[in-house]
Amino acid sequence: MVDNNGRSAFAIPGAEQWTMTGRTGRRYRIMAWMPDAAVPEAGFPVIYMLDANAAFGTMVETVRLLGQGPYRVDPSVVIGIGYETDRPLDTQARFYDYTVYAADDELPPRKDRSPWPATGGAADFLQFIEEELKPSIERLYTIDRSRQMLFGHSLGGWFVLYALFRQCGAFQYYVAGSPSIWWKNGYIVPDAERFAESGKQADWRASLLIGVGSLEKPHMVRDARQMYERLLAADIPGFTVQYRCYEDEGHLSVVAPLIGRAVRFLDPNHDNRPKS
């Protein structure tokens, strides 16, 4: 609606949102963007991103911009999973959805000495994505199931690793930004080791990108690098892993360059494949 000064609210062309209630009763704000392009024969690649309240617009505009020019990326559907708030982050909700249960003595004291939010919803959240959200999206859009990405940052990055290690065939591309590998005393590390062993007998293919900012806390950079080295050394057939450390970027500022890399990661041949 236009006000008396001729100004109006801005909306991203092609984007829409709705509320979805999962079987557990948890509610999510789903944000979706459809490219203004002909549907490919195999369907559109799709990016499922966590913390959509914070960065859905950044992801969509990056896909739109990088879809221009002779080295453009393939157009992708973008699906954001957010919460019913106008704030960038819903701390309570994301702590629950993106984690396994952790007791107080398995976590460091918070700076303000306040109790940690409730935790432990990761398994239910992954099930919601796989069994409820994805079928709903595939009824609305034509999706290429061989080119699906899961993108998350911080605790969301931890959840991306959790999804890869626990249900590796769910996506083909995984982007874990600044993953909170410290969570629950490094709980995810044994998962990585089991994944490496089981993956040698698997018939799936997947690619993982781990990104972090050079100005993050030293343990964040160290843990991300060590996870990359551990998975690279495992030499899992059909599995590739990349690592990027972005200079002069901190824990939050790294999200924007990581999104740019993620969009190209989903179309790995675009840099050397001019398109007419």
Active-site residue set? 154, 216, 251
Q: Three-state secondary structure along the chain?
A: CCCCCCCCCCCCCCEEEEEEECCCCCEEEEEEECCCCCCCCCCEEEEEECCHHHHHHHHHHHHHHHCCCCCCCCCCEEEEEECCCCCCCCHHHHHHHCCCCCCHHHCCCCCCCCCCCCCCCHHHHHHHHHHHHHHHHHHHCCEEEEEEEEEEECHHHHHHHHHHHHCCCCCCEEEEECCCCCHHHHCHHHHHHHHHHHHCCCCCCEEEEEEEECCCCHHHHHHHHHHHHHHHHHCCCCEEEEEEEECCCCCCCCHHHHHHHHHHHCCCCHHHCCCC
Other CB atoms within a 10 A radius of the CB of residue 147 amount to: 20
C-alpha 125/C-alpha 18 separation (Å) is: 18
Please give the biggest Cα pair distance in the chain.
66
C-alpha 53/C-alpha 48 separation (Å) is: 13
Residues 6+ apart with CB under 8 A from 111: none
